[in-house]
Amino acid sequence: MGRKPTRATPKISSAPQPAREIRRAQVDMSFEDQSLLVPLFGQFDANLVQVENRIGVFISARGDNLHIEGPEDSVARARDVLQTMYDKLALGQDLDAGAIEALISMSNEPTLEGIVNADKNSPPIMIRTRRKTIVPRSAAQAGYMRQLAREDVIFALGPAGTGKTYVAVAQAVSQLITGSVQRLVLSRPAVEAGEKLGFLPGDMKDKVDPYLRPLYDALFDCMPPEQVERRIASGEIEIAPIAFMRGRTLADSFVILDEAQNTTREQMKMFLTRFGQNSRMVVCGDPKQVDIPGGDRHSGLADAVGRLEDVEGIAVTRFTAADVVRHPIVGRIVEAYEGKAE
């Protein structure tokens, strides 16, 4: 049994209030499928408490009914988030604290309808893999997932925790499973993040694997480990430093370059020109986390985006701290560091 979550009293900003009085409202909700109420409410009503504390409302549960009270706009947000939570469960999708946090964040976006809610008039935005189904956790992720399905070359820029690489790997695995591509090529520059590791023992694989571990982690999350190992052995999945890309043409492939901010201009040009027939290429990186000598002035990522953003067939998605889908504190940490830098 977990610790019972604390039900905080909804807070309203102490900033000076506008002349008009804040309008308060209340609404009642009921749900048809009572078997979904336990995962909807959460253990000790933890999910309801999360919605209460983040949106600033009071929620009381009685049987299959919920009563929501608070400021009018907040009550409307809470109602939409709770309805979407129920809809996700009805569709067989997972509902954890991270998913709820994403729905709450997206409820501030004008594009909430059709992204979070199950829109009956258009196909849902999702990526299916062997182990899970990935749905967008922010409005920016929804646009990114659309780009991954239709564009040839995609640049994904933004801070850690926004799902740039994870979603790209999921799309790559999905296309490999369906036969849309014959091979996955995942690459990173072997650049140390501000520290010198010296000479690493072992063969070439042992030396480069530590730099490529995040790509392995994403693969294992989307595909059973034994399948990953088998496809790596057969050459269907290749994970290698960017230096190994020179002189190749990557046809019928889904190619992902991670940590691209740590490429030089020459490396980036070399990588992008590996593009072959029936391929898709995704370049992920955080322009504010450059570890190569010379910093962002010598980064191939910023240079490539500046040159190619308006080229037909190339798309760019820019994520911000508001799109962080890890623990909420990660977004606050990113905002604090970006604010300090400015």
pTM attached to this predicted model: 0.67
Provide the pLDDT for residue 206: 61
Residue 244 — very low, low, confident or very high, per pLDDT cuts 50/70/90? confident
Coil/strand/helix, residue 324:
coil
Q: Give the residue-averaged pLDDT of 255-264.
A: 92
Answer for the pair 326, 161: CB distance below 8 angstroms, yes or no.
yes
Q: How many CB atoms lie within 10 A of CB 310?
A: 8
Residue position matching structure tokens 């690493």: 200
pLDDT, mean over the chain? 80
Provide the pLDDT for residue 58: 92
Start-to-end C-alpha separation, the chain: 45
pLDDT(17) > 60? no
Residue 16 — very low, low, confident or very high, per pLDDT cuts 50/70/90? low
Provide the pLDDT for residue 48: 92
Residue 13 — very low, low, confident or very high, per pLDDT cuts 50/70/90? very low
Burial (CB count within 10 angstroms: exposed 0-12, middle 13-18, buried 19+), residue 199? exposed
Q: Give the residue-averaged pLDDT of 72-98.
A: 85
> pLDDT tens digits, residue range 307-336?
999 999 899 999 988 777 766 677 677 778
Nearest alpha-carbon partner for 106 in 266, 342, 325, 299:
325
8: which DSSP letter? P
Q: Give the residue-averaged pLDDT of 61-87.
A: 87
Provide the pLDDT for residue 332: 73
Q: Give the residue-averaged pLDDT of 133-151.
A: 85
Burial (CB count within 10 angstroms: exposed 0-12, middle 13-18, buried 19+), residue 291? middle
Burial (CB count within 10 angstroms: exposed 0-12, middle 13-18, buried 19+), residue 288? middle
Provide the pLDDT for residue 204: 53
> pLDDT tens digits, residue range 164-193?
999 999 999 999 998 999 999 998 887 654
Q: What is the CATH number of domain 24-106?
A: 3.30.1370.10
Provide the pLDDT for residue 21: 67
Ramachandran area for residue 252 (φ above 0: left; ψ -120 to 50: alpha; else beta):
left
Least confident of 55-59, 87-91, 149-153, 254-258: 87-91
Provide the pLDDT for residue 266: 92
Answer for the pair 242, 267: CB distance below 8 angstroms, yes or no.
yes
Coil/strand/helix, residue 174:
helix
Token code pair at residue 193: 């993040």
Nearest alpha-carbon partner for 287 in 271, 256, 263:
263
Sheet containing 237-241, strands listed edge to edge, beginning at the edge strand earlier in sequence: 237-241, 183-188, 253-257, 280-285, 153-157, 314-318
Cα separation, 61 vs 63, whole angstroms: 6
**Overall fold of domain 127-341:** Rossmann fold (3.40.50)
Q: Give the residue-averaged pLDDT of 8-21.
A: 50
pLDDT(342) > 60? no
Residue 194 — very low, low, confident or very high, per pLDDT cuts 50/70/90? very low
Q: At a CB cut-off of 8 Å and minimum separation 6, what does 203 contact?
A: none
pLDDT(198) > 80? no
Q: Greater confidence, 133 or 81?
A: 81
Least confident of 10-19, 31-40, 63-72: 10-19
Sign of CA dihedral 316, 279, 134, 116: positive
Angle value at C-alpha 155, between 286 and 116, nearest 5 degrees? 90
The domain locations on the chain are 24-106, 127-341
Provide the pLDDT for residue 92: 81
